[in-house]
Each structure stands twice: as C-alpha cells, then as structure tokens.
C-alpha cells in the first residue's frame, strides 16, 4: 500500500486554479449583444437618412420602413420560400461536413490517399460556384438534389482543410503516450486525435453554417420556382425591391440562426477551450 | 548483485540512412538493477532521451540489444511494465485530472482485465493533488500538471518508471519540491527509475547511480555511484559530500565534452 502525502496545501508549487471570469454576465451581454444591435440601428438610420437626402427612388433602394412592411405583409410567402432554402442548406451542411470528416480521417491514416486526392479537392475548390450550379441542375434535375449538392460542395472544402489540420494537431507527447500504452489506432483516434480536432472542426463549421445558405441560394437562381434564391431573382426583375430586401433579411436571419446553433453546440462540446 | 531490470548491450541508434544519417547513440552498455534510481545526464543532443525511447519500445535500435525485465522492450510495453513521464506533462486537455490519471486503465481495457493496484484518487493524493480531482489541465500550474502525469504513469503499478527530464521546464523552487515528492514516491513504491536530466545537483540528489553521456554519437563516458544516505533531505545539498559528488560530475561532463 502506498503512503499518502503528508498534510500540506495542495497548491504550493504554483498558481491557484483559474479564478472565474471577472467580467459579470451583464457586462458580457452588453458587449456581445447590445453593442452590435446599436451599430445595426445606426446603420438603418443612416440608410433612411441617405434615401431622403439623396432622393433615391424606391425601386432602386427601398426605405427601411417599406422593407419592414414587406416582412409583415408578405410573411406567408417569405416563410413558404424559406422552407426549401432551410432544407437545402441543412442537407448540404450535413452532407458536406460528413464527407469532409470522412475524407480527412482517411487522409490522416493513409498518406498516399492524401497525396492523390488533396490536390484534386483544392482544384475543385477553385471552380466558381456560379458555374457549377447550372451543371449540377443539368445532372441532378430541378428538385432538392442539385441545391443540396452545391451547399454540400461549398461546405466541404473548409471542413476538409481544417479537419486534416485538426487531426494532425494532436500533441506529439500524447501520441507517444498512446504508443507506450500499446493503444490501437482506433483508440489513439478516439482518445487523442478526434478530441484534438474538435476545435478545428467547429471553426470550419462556423464558416460552413453561413456559406451553406449561400450555396443553396445560388443554386436556387437556376431551374427552380421556389426558395429564397428564386424569390430574390424574381423580385429583382420585377423591381419589387422592398420584398427583395425582405427576402435578404430572412436569408441573413437563417444564416445567423445556423451560426448561432453551431456556436451553442461548440460551447457544449468543446468545454476545455473555454 | 541484485536482479537486473534493464540491460543495454552495445546499443546504437542511427536516424535516417545514407549520407544524411544522424548517429544518435553509439555502443551504449549499461545495467540498471531492480529498485535502483539511475540518472542519465549529459548535454542536449547526446541521445539520453533517445535511449529512454529505445527502452520504452517507442523507437527500435539499429544495433545492440535491450532487455527489460528479462525480455524484449516490446514484451514489457505490452505488459505495461513501465510508466513514462514526459518533459511536458502531455495531459489531454479535455479530461480532468482524475480522467487523465485513469487513461492508462481505459486504453486496451487494462482496468477491466487487471485490478488496479491503487485507485486513481489515491494516486492523486500521493502526488499531493487531493482537491484537484476535477480540475482541467489548463486550470493547473506546470508543476501540478507534471504531478498528474506522474500519477498517470503510476496508475497501472508499473515496476519501472522512465522519466524524460520531467522537471526540466519547471522553476527551481517547484523542481526542488517535486524532487522531494519523487523520492518519497520512490521509497513508497520501490519502483526502478531511469531519470534523464540536465541538472547536476538533481542527478546527485535523486539517484543511486549517474551515467554521464557524451555527445555525437551519444555514449556513456563515465559512471558515478552516489553513496549518500537515504532518506535524503534538502539539507544534504549543503554538505561537503554532496559538493564532492557535484564537482566529480562536473569534471566528468567537461571531460566527456572535450573527448
């Protein structure tokens, strides 16, 4: 049996454990929420003033009030068109991230595969998304498939790059420790590589959460008659600028909601980074 | 002669091949007896850490043989006959202190197949971290992190402890403190310890025997038996005998560098 340590203060050899943050919850709320909202309010006010002072016609730029009215009056139509965009963005986000994570895991365990496929992935990335969109519509038809594919494609690349980096970021000493413990490749992955990669994965997913909405939107410009992308194109041609701006506000709200969801998930799962 | 726990016979190690090959170790022969505290000391890049990794079966020697408790290092690694303490604690930041100490029990299901000799909580207590069981590594100081990593190395009750400059990154006050803790743990567990260090007083204070390494390629240039009484107390460092040993080691290191 081991003798235990003589009674003694445990923190004699260094600093005490980190004290809880000195900033209060109220101060955090002010900095995180109130300040950006204030900036947005100022921008809207400036927008309104500019239209009046410069006498800009409403079909070029609508007033903030008319955009607000469009949001309320056309809410049924906006909602109806928001549903397909949300489905496509979420589907593309999930698909793109899953494929990217799987590819990153394969790359880290097989260097030949990485050398063969990584440049191809980079090359695909350089193709302009507006050019790929019609090609996907030709191949996959008019349904959800081409939109999900494009949202997935736009999501894929940042996650692949970050995930490969994240899996490689594991502490070399932790990897050596796993070797000393005769851990299997699966165990090394589960105990060290996967958790090490999570902060990288989440920073990629934060980018993807908004860009997947962008992907779905671009895909809806062609070959469809529903979705916020379609609504944006339609209202632009019809000079219904107030509704166009309302559609933009809804799109932005969806992207922000996704971003927020990913951030909450990160906050819950990556506790040790806080 | 007591039982030999670790036997190195003509061990050499070359990294890489061809004209770019780097000889790290050349012809190292040494024995460490069961229960002994052996220190390896020498300048940076003399292969001390490489030798430790060869014993731990992290690297394979290019020449010579190593036996750990009568068998190849791989057998000892699979049987968890040694614990390894790294220079930087190498804790998993997403696990609290207790979960870090328990990691070796989880990997390979070791804890399910063997009765752990000491509960992880008791080991945290042994290294003086009672009350910090659920602290995460980033909430702990460097010295506390290194204590967690020592508890982690001891959790499967290994008969051998391999320590690679474990206190090298710590300030002197913390280092002295942990030296005392390590001697206490060594006395309590009877573990064979191989301890790599840069510090002459640390080597003299802790060990029974010091192997002095010379550079390029690394080899043992001198062996000094430290016959100071145990248990050792900090006041020992002020005695003339202690000074004679540190002076002898200093001379041996100077000679090995110019050789």
Rounded Cα distance between B184 and B193, Å, is 13
pLDDT tens digits along B146-178:
989 999 998 988 999 999 998 888 888 888 888
Residues of B in contact with A184 (CB under 8 A): 108
**Contacts of residue A39, Cβ cutoff 8 Å, sequence gap at least 6:** none
Say how many C-beta atoms besides its own lie within 10 A of residue A86's C-beta: 16
DSSP secondary-structure letter at A93? H
Cβ-based burial of B41 (10 A; exposed 0-12, middle 13-18, buried ≥19):
buried
Rounded Cα distance between B257 and B259, Å, is 6
Burial A45-72, CB ≥16 within 10 A → b, else e:
eeeeeebeeeeeeeeebbbbebbbebbe
Q: What percent of chain B lies above the pLDDT cut of 90?
A: 33
Residues of A in contact with B89 (CB under 8 A): 173
Rounded Cα distance between B180 and A12, Å, is 13
Cα B148 to its chain centre, rounded Å, is: 15
Q: Residues 166 to 225 of B: which have CB under 8 A from any A CB?
A: 170, 173-174, 177-178, 181, 184, 188-189
pLDDT band at A4 (very low <50, low <70, confident <90, very high): very low
E-only strand ranges, chain B: 4-15, 22-33, 37-41, 63-68, 82-85, 160-164, 192-197, 209-214, 219-225
Given a contact cutoff of 8 angstroms between Cβ atoms, the answer to whether B217 and B174 are in contact is: no
Question: What pLDDT score does A23 carry?
Answer: 55
Say how many C-beta atoms besides its own lie within 10 A of residue B217's C-beta: 18
Rounded Cα distance between B70 and B61, Å, is 17
How much is the pTM? 0.80
Q: Find, in chain B, the residue whose alpha carbon is nearest to that of A9.
A: B128
Rounded Cα distance between A105 and A112, Å, is 13
Whether the link from the prior residue into B217 is cis, omega within 30° of 0, is yes
Report the interhelical angle of A64-73 vs A35-54 (nearest 10°).
Answer: 110
Print pLDDT tens along chain B (259 aa). 578 889 999 898 988 888 888 888 888 899 999 989 999 998 887 888 899 999 999 999 998 899 999 889 999 899 889 999 998 888 999 999 999 999 999 998 888 888 878 888 888 888 888 889 899 999 998 889 998 999 999 898 899 999 999 888 888 888 888 888 889 888 888 899 999 998 999 999 999 999 999 887 888 888 889 888 878 888 888 888 888 999 988 998 888 777 6
Rounded Cα distance between B31 and B16, Å, is 27
Q: Residues 87 to 146 of B: which have CB under 8 A from any A CB?
A: 87-90, 92-94, 103-104, 106-108, 110, 118, 122-123, 125-132, 135-144
**Contacts of residue B65, Cβ cutoff 8 Å, sequence gap at least 6:** B8, B9, B10, B11
Q: Give A12 or B243, the one with higher predicted confidence.
A: B243
Q: Which of B56, B90, B122 sits opposite A174 (nearest CB)?
A: B90
pLDDT band at A3 (very low <50, low <70, confident <90, very high): very low
Rounded Cα distance between A153 and A230, Å, is 20
Cβ-based burial of B229 (10 A; exposed 0-12, middle 13-18, buried ≥19):
exposed
**Contacts of residue A238, Cβ cutoff 8 Å, sequence gap at least 6:** none
Pick from A160, A256, A255, A159: nearest CA to A214: A255
pLDDT tens digits along B174-195:
888 888 888 988 888 889 999 9
Q: Which of A10, A183, A192 sits opposite B129 (nearest CB)?
A: A10
Contact A10 B131 (CB under 8 A): yes
Contact B107 A181 (CB under 8 A): yes
Does residue B66 sit at the A interface (CB-CB below 8 Å)? Answer: no
List residues of A whose CB lies inside 8 A of any B CB.
2-5, 8, 10-15, 17-18, 171, 173-174, 176-184, 187, 191-192, 195, 270-273
Given a contact cutoff of 8 angstroms between Cβ atoms, the answer to whether B191 and B180 are in contact is: no
Q: Which residues pair with B40 in a beta bridge?
A: B196, B211
Question: What pLDDT score does A25 carry?
Answer: 67
Whether the link from the prior residue into B86 is cis, omega within 30° of 0, is no
Question: What pLDDT score does B256 carry?
Answer: 79
Rounded Cα distance between A131 and A124, Å, is 12
pLDDT tens digits along A113-155:
888 888 888 888 888 888 888 888 888 888 899 999 999 999 9
pLDDT tens digits along B16-28:
888 888 888 888 8
């Amino acid at each position: 049996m081991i003798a235990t340590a003589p009674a003694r203060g445990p923190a004699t050899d260094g600093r005490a454990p980190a004290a809880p943050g000195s900033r209060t919850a109220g101060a955090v709320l002010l900095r995180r929420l109130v300040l950006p909202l204030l900036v947005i309010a100022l921008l809207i006010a400036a927008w309104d003033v500019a239209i009046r002072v410069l006498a800009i016609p409403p079909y070029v730029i609508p007033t903030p009030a008319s955009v607000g009215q469009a949001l309320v009056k056309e809410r049924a139509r906006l909602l109806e068109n928001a549903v397909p965009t949300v489905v496509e963005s979420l589907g593309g986000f999930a698909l793109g991230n899953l494929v990217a994570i799987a590819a990153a895991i394969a790359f880290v365990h097989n260097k030949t595969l990485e050398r063969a496929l990584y440049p191809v992935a980079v090359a695909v990335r350089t193709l302009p998304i507006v050019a790929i969109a019609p090609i996907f519509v030709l191949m996959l038809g008019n349904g959800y498939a081409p939109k999900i594919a494009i949202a997935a494609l736009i999501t894929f690349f940042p996650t692949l790059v970050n995930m490969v980096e994240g899996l490689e970021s594991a502490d070399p000493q932790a990897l050596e420790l796993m070797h000393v413990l005769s851990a299997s490749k699966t165990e090394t992955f589960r105990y060290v590589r996967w958790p090490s990669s999570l902060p990288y994965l989440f920073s990629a997913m934060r980018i993807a959460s908004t860009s997947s909405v962008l992907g779905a939107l671009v895909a809806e410009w062609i070959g469809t008659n529903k979705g916020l992308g379609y609504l944006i194109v339609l209202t632009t041609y019809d000079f219904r600028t107030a509704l166009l701006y309302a559609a933009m506000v809804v799109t932005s709200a969806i992207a922000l909601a996704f971003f927020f969801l990913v951030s909450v998930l990160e906050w819950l799962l990556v506790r040790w980074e806080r | 002669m007591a039982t030999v726990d670790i036997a190195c016979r003509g061990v050499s190690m070359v990294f890489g091949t061809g004209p770019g090959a780097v000889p790290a170790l050349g012809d190292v022969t040494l024995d460490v007896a069961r229960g002994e505290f052996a220190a390896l000391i020498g300048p940076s890049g003399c292969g001390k850490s490489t030798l430790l990794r060869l014993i731990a079966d992290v690297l394979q020697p290019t020449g010579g043989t190593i036996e750990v408790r009568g068998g190849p290092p791989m057998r000892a690694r699979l049987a968890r006959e040694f614990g390894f303490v790294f220079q930087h604690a190498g804790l998993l930041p997403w696990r609290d202190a207790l979960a870090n100490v328990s990691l070796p029990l989880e990997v390979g299901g070791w804890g399910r197949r063997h009765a752990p000799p000491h509960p992880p909580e008791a080991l945290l207590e042994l290294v003086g971290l009672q009350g910090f069981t659920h602290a995460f590594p980033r909430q702990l100081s460097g010295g506390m992190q290194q204590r967690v990593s020592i508890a982690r190395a001891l959790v499967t009750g290994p008969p051998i402890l391999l320590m690679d400059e474990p206190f090298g990154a710590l300030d002197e006050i913390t280092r002295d403190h942990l030296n005392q803790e390590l001697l206490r743990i060594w006395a309590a567990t009877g573990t064979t310890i191989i301890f790599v260090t840069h510090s002459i007083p640390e080597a003299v204070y802790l060990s029974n025997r010091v192997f002095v390494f010379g550079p390029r390629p690394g080899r043992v240039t001198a062996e000094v038996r430290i016959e100071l009484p145990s248990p050792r107390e900090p006041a020992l460092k002020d005695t003339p005998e202690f000074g004679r040993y540190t002076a002898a080691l200093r001379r041996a290191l100077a000679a090995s560098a110019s050789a």
